[in-house]
Structure 1
Amino acid sequence: MKLFNRFLLALLLAGAAAQAQKQPSAAQIIAEAKTTAAKEHKNIFIIFHASWCGWCHKMDTAMNDASCKALFDKQYVIRHIDVMEHGDKKVLENPGGEELLKAHGGGDGIPFWYVTDSKGQLLADSRKTGPDGRKANVGCPSTPDEIEHFLEVLKKTSTLSTSELATIQKRFSAK
């Protein structure tokens, strides 16, 4: 019986320790992405998102669609940074994520994304310059104008072919 109690206590402690584990910091995610991108000769695609964000889920669904996933995966090391959570979901946030989001000009909502080279040099982001000259976050591209911006970023930061870009355009245009 004592052995069983010790086993049960050990199991409970292990469970509590697992619950207490924190999410990796934004800096750790970026460092790991740089290492992977350098090894795989890819650029880095960072997406800021939250569990409650419907547009974030739509973007993930589109990028992970069977028609697109391999296209993105061959070009980018894709990483997510969780920000702006509420209540008991706050534990999902990556420490330093909101500061990194703000440092990259992401104050207009999520999803906010940017692309860097393997050394972390910014190549492009989700902000599109409007007719008034101000930049605004397109988030998950869904309008023709937003999708065009997204495709321009992909053209600039990848070697995707015209037909591959058309596949991505078709998927993001689907309602």
Structure 2
Amino acid sequence: MKQLLTGLLILVSLQWAFADSGIQFFKGTMAEAQALAAKEHKIIFMDAYTSWCGPCKRMAKDVFSDAEVGKFFNKHFINIKVDMEKGEGPRLAGKYRVNSYPTLLFLDEKGEVVHAAKGGRPADQFLGLGKVALSKNDKSGEYAQQYEEGKRDPDFLRAYAYALLNSAKPNLKIANEYIRTQDDFSSKENLEFLFDFANEADSKIFELAVENKEAIIQLKSAETFKEKLKSACNETINKAIEYKVADLLDEAKLKMKTADPKYAKEYALYADIKYAAGTEDITAFTKLSDKYLKKYAKKDAQTLHQYARSVLMQTNDAKLLETAEKWASQATSIDYKAEYLRTHSAILEKLGRAEEAQKVNAKANELGGKQSKTPALGH
């Protein structure tokens, strides 16, 4: 099931651009990044690198591009890359005593170091580094004590909600308490709050964000707001999967229909695919995926290939594999890549069509692939 969910996560990044499938780096100066961090109540992640650093290049290629890394870092940090030998790099290198690369710095809005590490690391360890940085910047404990003592004024509740959000802790209870103190949501401060806390479709804050859609779009952008809607609906689907409550799936689709009617049909189909993947229903996943691909991605080789690969890794059912073989064949007819050919070959092999599999794999090898065998299938 892990491969199927991983495949679906990649598809999310390809089809719905929730987070560009990796870290989004801020294009601006450090001073501008600090101002944005203060505005968005976040800390800064700075990748201190050089153009000649090998580990830096590997981090950029293999770690910063990772979908899970992108989702976490885009949500919790203002991310910035600084070449230590260009522009303001030498000044920052001196200020933060950077003498090896990459140096991974986590800074507060004042530019003070919250956490730091040197050297490259794989995605899972890098995620752990980010979580440690959040914990070191966690101010929610101070607010929790004051809350227990009875403090409830709006400014306090707002600050407490952001402290929880920025520490990746449950925050909806306190955010809702703040919302209940407000009668007017037209102020910039409250519109920002609605946007920042509309993280689940099955919430009052999400509904208020949709009600104030036009004002938030003026403040952010139509595309940014649309991405927020999709992310919130996805979180509700994740809960539907985790708690096995299909009603939450229906609620996510309904909320998207209210929020973005033009996109509702496509999202509803995507939602069903995501739910089928999460509940390990490979038959429903394949059937729904076939419908989606015919309607929305019949000329998208990368997406066709990824769906085919997901089915390949999850089943030996001939009927389902035949559907996946069709997608794989379409992918190679659109974009003749060795990777796509090898997936096609592996599906043919599972279907018992050994001679065809060998011919397709030979074509993959002709394109420069070094391996003479099809990918391991885990059986």
Structure 1 residues 35 and 145 mapped into 2: Cα distance closer, same or farther (>3 Å)? closer
Aligned to 1:152: 132
Alignment check: 8 A CA contact 2:73 2:130 kept: no
Report the structure, 1 or 2, having the larger strand content: 1
1:67 is paired with a residue whose SS is helix
Query: 5+ residue gaps in structure 1?
Result: 1-27, 85-92, 127-137, 162-175
In the TM superposition, residue 78 of structure 1 has moved relative to its aligned partner by: 0.7
Q: Which residue of 2 aligns with 1:30?
A: 30
* 1:114 is the counterpart of 2:105: yes
Cα offsets for 1:77-96 (capped at 9, x unmatched): 01111124xxxxxxxx22x3
Q: Which amino acid aligns with 1:67?
A: E
Q: Partners of 1:50 and 1:41 in 2: how far apart?
A: 29
**CA, structure 1 residues 56+74, in 2 after alignment: closer, same or farther (shift >3 Å)?**
same
Change beyond 3 A, Cα 1:105–1:147 = farther
Q: How many pairs were matched up?
A: 112
Counterpart of 2:63 in structure 1: which amino acid?
A: A
What is the identity percentage for the equivalent residue pairs of Structure 1 and Structure 2? Answer: 28
Name 1:87's counterpart in structure 2.
none
Q: Cα gap change, 1:145/1:118 in structure 2, threshold over 3 Å: closer, same or farther?
A: closer
Letter matched to residue 43 of structure 1: I
- Who is 2:40 aligned against? 40
| Cα deviation, residue 38, structure 1 | 1.4
Counterpart AA for 1:64: S
Residues 1:48 and 1:145: Cα distance change in structure 2 (over 3 Å): closer
More helix by share: 2
1:167 match: none
Alignment partners' CA distance in 2, 1:125 and 1:117? 12
Counterpart secondary structure, 2:106? strand
1:78 aligns with 2:58: no
Query: Between Structure 1 and Structure 2, whose CA radius of gyration is higher?
Result: 2
Compared with structure 1, are the counterparts of its residues 81 and 150 closer, same or farther at alpha carbon in structure 2 (3 Å cutoff)?
same
Task: Confirm or deny: 8 A CA contact 2:46 2:80 kept in the other structure.
Answer: yes
Partners in 2 of 1:147 and 1:36 — Cα distance? Answer: 22
The two structures have a TM-score, normalised by structure 2, of 0.27
Cα-Cα RMSD: 2.7
Once the two structures are superposed, what CA deviation does each residue of 1:89-117 show, in whole Å capped at 9, x if it has no partner? xxxx22x312321321211x111121111
Distance 2:31 2:47 in 1: 15
The one of the two structures with greater contact order (alpha-carbon pairs below 8 A, sep at least 6) is 1
